């Protein structure tokens, strides 16, 4: 089943992989492009996802270097909150459009 058909059937597809490069790497599979095409309506993350992203994704290197005065825990927290903040901005229009919908619940 195509993602468009899932949406028409009332299902909102979420991405279970938030990373800096996934947000907007310029590809068709970027989070921003998937949101524009109404393919993705949310994203989840957890410490394991961030650990994998931070260790493999080169786009974190400059922020890690710039934060060398912070502890490891503080750096990870900063990187994670920056990514979550960017993702929230990407989903802002979807949230505002559905804010008063009785079919959508936010936690």
- Convert the pLDDT of each residue in 65-93 to its tens digit: 999 999 999 999 999 999 999 999 999 98
For 45-70, what is each residue's pLDDT tens digit?
A: 888 888 888 998 899 999 999 999 99
Res. 106: pLDDT tops 60: no
- CA 10 – CA 7 distance, rounded (Å): 5
Q: Model confidence at 107, in pLDDT bands (50, 70, 90)?
A: very low
- CA 102 – CA 54 distance, rounded (Å): 37
Q: Model confidence at 100, in pLDDT bands (50, 70, 90)?
A: low
Average pLDDT over residues 12-29: 88
- pTM for the model: 0.80
pLDDT at 101: 62
- CA 11 – CA 41 distance, rounded (Å): 9
pLDDT at 1: 55
């Amino acid at each position: 089943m195509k993602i468009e058909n899932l949406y028409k059937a009332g299902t909102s597809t979420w991405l279970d992989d938030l990373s800096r490069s996934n947000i907007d790497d310029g590809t068709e599979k970027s989070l921003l492009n998937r949101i524009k095409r109404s393919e993705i309506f949310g994203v989840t993350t957890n410490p394991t996802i961030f650990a994998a992203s931070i260790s493999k994704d080169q786009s974190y290197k400059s922020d890690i270097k710039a934060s060398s005065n912070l502890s490891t825990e503080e750096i990870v927290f900063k990187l994670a909150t920056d990514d979550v903040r960017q993702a929230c901005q990407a989903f802002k229009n979807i949230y505002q459009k559905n804010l008063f919908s009785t079919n959508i619940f936010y936690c």
